Structure 1
């Protein structure tokens, strides 16, 4: 018989006869018979993995036909277009693996399986971004990919981003790309002529954003995508508020991609502020993006501070709409600032202004180091302001919030 000690180590007790197992030699238990369906699924997964490895080698080696060769003829045009987009983005790492065992697709010899891809752009040894898609295959000595849908967005779980943001630009669009020292900019070929100017301005913004890292190292590369009207409604799920000029979206692996709205290239100097703001998000937000309405003021306040780039408060562009909101019906609460998707431009500008002034007060009074420590505690570590201000600022949150509100009201008088 076999007894188990509390630490989980099997102890063999002999109940009679002579044992063939010498002292100190581990006993080997017979493996139970594996379910034939599981065995078959595992073998299919191994054959699919071999095909995915061939596809990866083709992509990294510049073999367009080889990249598409693992698929049926109906899927190959889409794979060839994806190949072109990924090569334009200078893909440096690509790997696909089944996520779990395949299951029957309902027809003999056909299987469904989720494939997780890991990829890098430009930087050879980056932390890869993940992307999962549900696929269908026809089995054989070399399985054939029958369906390869676009990726879908995943929900947030317990305040943390737990998946992927929706359709990625390279899944659905032809892309033109330029790469600088710190930034990659991309758009559709229709906007190719705008990319040199955008890259120059994004590189300048990246120098500012690099100083807004609150934990770890700066991003290895900032990724900026300019969206035309069609792309704005399609990329990353396309569900953006009417007033949005851009956003930073978490694509996993420590990367946030910046998307600029169609009209932003006509903003003149305002584009520089938008770029500094969004790249600061990419630099400051955690790998597993936190989203909580009560922290919106802090997230956007830091980004607005980066956008302002050290200019005096009196020159802040949103000061007039901020004054209107503060002297109107604002109740003095910071944790309720997030504007509705259909809010007016004036209301949106005012809420961003309040967030900026609140964060500006923290910086002016305590310095960037402690302001960033507060940001990290609340946004990265998911601690409430009331749990952190005593140790970071030597002041209660109730007292500090009142100071921020007084500072805001004074600034817009």
Structure 2
């Protein structure tokens, strides 16, 4: 299910069948290799990884250099020579700036006051330590990853390292978000807000981001004391920040859960791979995710991951984490035999079809959820759809408007199931009338381009929305009698 903006909440469970959840879509090019299919990596936090050589980042976007050396080339050559002679870098930078022509109308920035300048220098040293830690993580060097921190931080960092390695982290960038600030009542301790950017499995994906607080002890080489779980309003705490993880990676999906539930990984991976093949067909513009990321949450993790606090009827949800990626969370307590496949198809379709910034609002909830439910049904006959009884009950108190179907967080499960069911039937009618390609084009116009529904209907479907809306509602009523 979707909650409409950065994250989405999942289907309720009615008569043993979860009702679907929504998430947002992301781009992707890498379909993976056959060697990835079905491989399982389990996290063992207490096992020391064999240190590997630190990776050296390659140049990105380099171009063939010009044969001609202009004034800029001469200046750069001078910088290199001065540095080689041992002149301090700060002085060299000042000399180069002094030779540059001033920008028109620009005035020199005021110098930092002494306290700000000291904080800036400290922040640069902290950032250097984070860069060393990032290289160690990507190089498989656990000892190097821990080396920047005091022993008090090691247990948490060992768990984070193991989880990220199991998730096959392929990019990890750490940058300061502002200057460090002193921790009140703790002389010599500082807090630095850090933005981490990461990729899993695929080497060259658009990175996802998470903003996290870190605490340090001041020194020539600052020492990391703690990394706080992120609490961003958009996404909340990531699973790898707070939990040990067991991970399985397939050709199109990554599935992670807790060690207590690791026995379920092989089955979940097979189901996720099958669901991904369906979801890929609903990718808007053909931009399928590089990997669908799925996290299977136990009872405790359901309350912690991504901030918890989901409506009681939620069986699963998807949340956007930046870079066009959506991470899907399944509620282990809400899953029943026979209900996982359609839930996965539903959620992964959200990941394939939704835009990164969320959908326009509650008025288009029916279209977002209806498409995911249609994918979840996967061509089954209408009479096998599990929510028809709930649709029938809903019609007695519904105002007949598709744009009013979005249920409240505290709505009873049967009301939620009925809303999903009406949405499914409305989308199914549009597919029957216009075919899946034109329906997806209509979806793209409304959800991605944010075109008003009436304008999108005229442009894409060639008919007035008022008439089509009434057709959809009439179809729903006819199906349930």
Q: TM-score range by the shorter chain?
A: 0.7 to 0.9
- Partner residue, 1:300: 369
Distance 1:235 1:57 in 2: 27
Corresponding residue for residue 400 of structure 2: 332
Per-residue deviation, 1:291: 5.9
- Of the three residues 183, 190, 207, the one matched with 1:111 is 190
Q: Residue 34 in 1 paired to residue 111 in 2? A: yes
Which moves more between the two structures, 30-39 or 232-241?
Answer: 30-39
Pick aligned residue for 2:176 from 73, 86, 98: 98
What pairs up with 1:69-218 in 2 under 5 angstroms? 69-106=147-184, 109-154=188-233, 164-218=234-288
1:122 to partner: Cα distance: 0.9
1:289 positional shift: 2.1
Report the TM-score, using the length of structure 1 for normalisation: 0.87
* Structure 2 contact 360–450 (Cα < 8 Å) conserved: no
Partners of 1:65 and 1:80 within 8 A in 2: no
Query: Bigger shift: 71-80 or 246-255?
Result: 71-80
Superposition deviation, residue 83 in structure 1: 0.7
User: Distance between the aligned counterparts of 1:295 and 1:239, measured in 2?
Assistant: 23
> How many residues end up aligned between the 2 structures?
378
Q: C-alpha distance in 1, partners of 2:462/2:109? A: 62
Which whole-Å CA distance do the structure 2 matches of 1:102 and 1:264 have between them?
43
What are structure 1's unaligned runs of at least 5 residues?
A: 1-24, 155-163
Query: Aligned with 1:111: secondary structure?
Result: strand
Q: Determine the structure 1 residue equivalent to 2:433.
A: 365
> Is the 1:118–1:130 contact (alpha carbons within 8 Å) kept by the matching residues of 2?
yes
Deviations 1:116-163 (A, max 9, x none): 000111111111110001223223221112332110132xxxxxxxxx
Instruction: Kindly provide the CA deviation profile for residues 302-322 of structure 1, in whole angstroms up to 9, marking residues without a partner as x.
Output: 000000101222322212221
1:395 match: 463
Specify the alignment match of 1:16 in structure 2.
Answer: none
Q: Give the structure 2 partner of residue 377 of structure 1.
A: 445
Equivalent residue for 2:389? 320
How far apart are the structure 2 equivalents of 1:279 and 1:398?
A: 31
Instruction: Give matches, 1:162-311, under 5 Å.
Output: 164-265=234-335, 267-290=336-359, 292-311=361-380
Structure 2 counterpart SS, 1:167: coil
**Offset of 1:264 from its aligned partner?**
4.5
1:409 aligns with 2:477: yes
Q: Shift of residue 27 of structure 1?
A: 5.8
The 3 A distance-change label for structure 1 pair 385 and 188 is same
CA distance in structure 1 between the aligned counterparts of 2:374 and 2:238, rounded to whole angstroms: 29
